[in-house]
Amino acid sequence: MRKRWIFIIFFLVLFVLSNCYFEKRGEVSDNKIIKIAFFGKLLQKNPHFATDMSSTFLLYPLYHSLFTYDENGKIVKDLVKEYFWENHLTLILKIRKDFHYTDGERITEKQVMENLKYFSNPQRNFPFSSEYDFIKNIEVYENRVIINLKYPFSPVLSYLTIPIIQKKFLGDTSKFPLSSKGFEIISYKRGSSFTVKKGKKLFKFIFVKDKMTALLKLKRGGVDLIAGYKYRQPLNDSDILQKRYKMNMLYYLVFNLRDKRLKDIFLRKKIKGCLNFSTIAEAFKGDVYYSEYPVLIPGFFEGWEYKIKEENRRKFQQGDFNGSPFSILINSESGVKRLYSTIIKEQLKSCGIKVKIISLEYASYLKRLKGGAFEMAIGGYVFDSDPNQRDIWHSNGAVNYAGLKDESVNILIEKGIKEINFSVRKKIYTTLYSKIMGKIPLIFLPTPYFKVYYRKNLKIKIPSLLHSNSSLFQYIDSWEKF
């Protein structure tokens, strides 16, 4: 009998010690791990190379940046303690002294300068180098970082939301830089999962494609949360809660203005008049937001919740245009774009306009979109809080997919970019958008909210508005599982 008790006690001690060991290594029991079903993949290890939304979501929460966003999408200070403009061309930053990497090294003014020089050097392999062309030089004086601009550039703060990493990781895509927010990267299985730890909390991101499988896992407790999807069907489960959030984005139907038929503005007006936004909204259960003239600066969604203006819609006579169908280009991976294209095809058919849908995998879709090899296409702009309007609408803009060329538009863009005064810039951009939308290079569509579904034993905080360089998981270290 005594031997039996000794045997039991031995295994109890072994069990406790092994649990302690695995907890130390981050391999804790399932009930202590927050498991997140994530519709995307981690494509990069270095946050500077995170040009896709999925990688940004997963990597940005691990690092501090000069400026970041609050839960309402407003730019706020992060590494920066104080900042001010010495003049329209010189921005002065005072850096906080209480932020460190996981190896104990402090984030210094010199490191900030090295990162900014790396961003703005076109000879480096940083993917956004050309976007930092407005920087003339960066220098450090005492405890301040001084950024000298080549010309006044109003959206400069939104360009300073890139993570600041240690010098030894600049340009290195082979490994994860050390976190400056206390996170430890436990494991990464390419295309499968990504696990990080902070303190005693573990967060495991499981990459999924099938929404119904993810939902089934959530209902059975296999995952605690489904992130970033747009379910249209109601979820009638008392154990599952939901939060919705906006992306600073709008889906659109874009016209190729280089196409000989779509050059005709009357035809573009006819197509716009045939679209019934009420029907599109119903397809998303009415859970959408929309803007006809988005002034894309902080707070542009305020007061612009989705409203149907039926009195502005026009009815057109039946009639076939040139006989041959028009094509709408979409990428095959997007269920939302498939839904848009199907509805638009039916609505244009009722106006006598035939449409065929061309569905390609994303790389081919993007190549044709950028190369102008399409007639109509459905896409989505994900914007910064104060984006560079030159990229979107300028004659030489990188994402001016419509091929809009208008010198008066170019002039307004340059004027707005150089105007530091917020209220004056807003007036300029209002005029700019009225002029652009009068030419109908594209039609913004009612855009569905994104949603997070989670089990009620989870306490989470997520932002209500996200930009192209902010993350759904910004407050993940405050999440709790009970």
For 345-380, the pLDDT digits (tens) are: 999 998 889 999 999 998 899 999 999 999 999 998
Return the pLDDT at 321. Answer: 56
For 237-283, the pLDDT digits (tens) are: 888 998 989 888 889 999 999 999 999 999 999 999 899 888 888 88
User: What's the CA gap between 443 and 340, in Å, rounded?
Assistant: 12
Mean pLDDT of 105-120: 95
Q: Residue 36 CA to chain centroid, in angstroms?
A: 18
H/E run at residue 254: strand 249-255
User: What's the CA gap between 150 and 87, in Å, rounded?
Assistant: 12
Confidence check: pLDDT of 217 > 70: yes
Confidence of residue 231 (pLDDT cuts 50, 70, 90): low
For 278-313, the pLDDT digits (tens) are: 888 888 887 888 776 555 444 444 433 334 344 334
Mean pLDDT of 313-321: 45
Query: Higher confidence at residue 387 or residue 318?
Result: 387
Domains of the chain, earliest start first: 23-63+181-230+450-482 (3.40.190.10), 65-172 (3.90.76.10), 249-448 (3.10.105.10)
For 319-346, the pLDDT digits (tens) are: 445 568 999 999 988 888 999 999 999 9
Confidence of residue 10 (pLDDT cuts 50, 70, 90): very low
Q: Which of 15-19, 284-288, 409-413, 438-442 has the weakest average pLDDT?
A: 15-19
Exposure string for 271-305, b = 16+ CB within 10 A, e = fewer:
bbebbbbeebbebbeeebbbbeebbbbbebbeeee
Return the pLDDT at 99. Answer: 96
Confidence check: pLDDT of 172 > 90: yes
Return the pLDDT at 313. Answer: 42
User: What's the CA gap between 193 and 204, in Å, rounded?
Assistant: 7
Distances (CA, A) of 430 to 351, 426, 434: 32, 6, 6
Intra-chain end-to-end CA distance of the chain, in Å: 40
Return the pLDDT at 460. Answer: 96
Query: Higher confidence at residue 30 or residue 182?
Result: 182
